[in-house]
Amino acid sequence: MKLRQIAHSRTGDKGNISNISVIAFDSENYEFLCQHVTAERVSAHFAEIVRGEVTRYEMPSIGALNFVLTLALGGGVTRSLALDAHGKGLSSALLDLDLPDIVAHEISASRRFRTEAG
């Protein structure tokens, strides 16, 4: 199963640092994300691109994980000759991460994230 089946993502940048947020489509899948989308796995996934550390921040109230990737953008927008100097494509690349299959009734990718309030 691919990460894109249970989550979507957004990317931001500051200098040579990229951050990627991974947001569960459904709150029921947040713990699964926490268990299987670790900083170590993200670092390994981007081993050819990211030259620094990968740090994960958990945001359970919104069902999201935020990854900060240092030394990830070839020096930053003003120094890099890369076609994707802002690193926007990194979010799509992360969604291609392989995850263990979960039981069909545990996944509800067609629904969007729900909070306790409603």
DSSP secondary structure letters along 46-91: TTTT--S-EEEEEEGGGTEEEEEESS-STT-TTT---TTTT-THHH
CB proximity list for 8: less than 8 A, separation 6 or greater: 22, 23, 25, 95
Q: Where are the domains of the chain?
A: 3-114
- 49-102: pLDDT as tens digits: 899 999 999 999 999 999 999 988 876 665 554 555 556 778 899 999 999 987
pTM: 0.81
Residue 110: pLDDT band (50, 70, 90) is very low
- 11-58: pLDDT as tens digits: 988 888 999 999 999 999 999 999 999 999 999 999 998 999 999 999
